[in-house]
């Protein structure tokens, strides 16, 4: 009798095996898959690289060519979505893509290169154009005078103005 019950139950349930590699699979809501940087939106503010626990996202400056590189290596990513939380422009997002298996290590990289601003005084690159414009909108108009100076040159300039500037006044 017990075996008969088992057979009837097995028939009533039917086949449960998915035909996965031959049929596409739907992932559930809120699944955290492959992180993708939208290069048009990214401003190179380095918030994501500060938040990334395994440093799969690294941001470094190439001072010779004046380029800021946002380098994502998915092979080290732990899919915690902290980068998505901190991104101010919603440039980085975790998609539902999970089919990431590759035959080569090289295919797991995503690189975004952003142009940097050179300082007017010393010629050293210090920030990206996009980040500068993003922050300049927030500033008061009279504070934009020293926008194209690197932090060291700006400090010098401010002190010069305080000492030699006629009428004084804070800038």
Partner 1 sequence: MFEKSLWVFHLNSGGCNGCDIEVLNIFTPRQDVERLGIKLVGSPRHADAIAFTGPVTRECLPKVIEAFKAVPEPKIVLAIGSCACGGGIWYDTYAVIGGVKELYKILKEEYGIEPPTTIYIPGCPPKPEAMIYAVGIARGLVKQKQKKEIYIEELDEKTKDMIEILFEEARGTRHFLPQIIVKTSEESKNES
R_g over Cα of the chain = 26
Nearest-10 Cα torsion for 28, 34, 40, 41? 70
Measured between alpha carbons, how far is 62 from 67 in angstroms, rounded to an integer? 5
3-state secondary structure of 50: helix
- Token pair for residue 121? 């005084």
* Among 87, 112, 149, 150, interactor with partner 1 by CB under 8 A: 112
The span from the CA of 69 to the CA of 125, in Å, is 13
Q: Is 108 in the site for partner 1 (CB under 8 A)?
A: yes
Interface positions, 76-95, toward partner 1 (CB under 8 A):
76-79
Residues 1-60 that bind partner 1 (CB under 8 A): 16-18, 20-22, 25, 27, 34, 39, 53-56
62 with 69: CB under 8 angstroms?
yes
- Residue 141 Cβ vs partner 1, minimum distance, rounded to whole Å: 4
Stretch that binds partner 1, among 1-9, 87-95, 119-127, 134-142 (CB under 8 A): 134-142
Binding residues for partner 1, per CB under 8 A? 16-18, 20-22, 25, 27, 34, 39, 53-56, 73-79, 97-115, 129-130, 133, 136-137, 141-145, 147, 160-161, 164-165, 169, 171
């Amino acid at each position: 009798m017990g075996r008969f019950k088992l057979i009837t139950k097995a028939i009533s349930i039917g086949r449960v095996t998915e035909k996965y590699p031959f049929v596409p699979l739907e992932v559930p809501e809120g699944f955290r898959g492959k992180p993708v940087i939208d290069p048009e939106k990214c401003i190179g503010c380095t918030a994501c690289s500060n938040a990334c626990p395994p440093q799969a996202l690294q941001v470094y400056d190439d001072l010779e060519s004046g380029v800021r590189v946002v380098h994502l290596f998915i092979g080290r990513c732990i899919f915690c979505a902290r980068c998505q939380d901190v991104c101010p422009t919603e440039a980085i997002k975790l998609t539902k893509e999970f089919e990431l298996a590759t035959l080569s290590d090289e295919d797991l990289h995503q690189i975004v290169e952003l142009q940097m601003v050179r300082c007017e005084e010393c010629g050293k690159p210090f920030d990206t154009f996009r980040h500068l414009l993003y922050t300049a909108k927030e500033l008061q108009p009279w504070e934009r005078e020293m926008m194209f100076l690197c932090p060291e040159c700006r400090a010098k300039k401010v002190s010069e103005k305080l000492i030699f500037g006629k009428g004084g006044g804070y800038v």
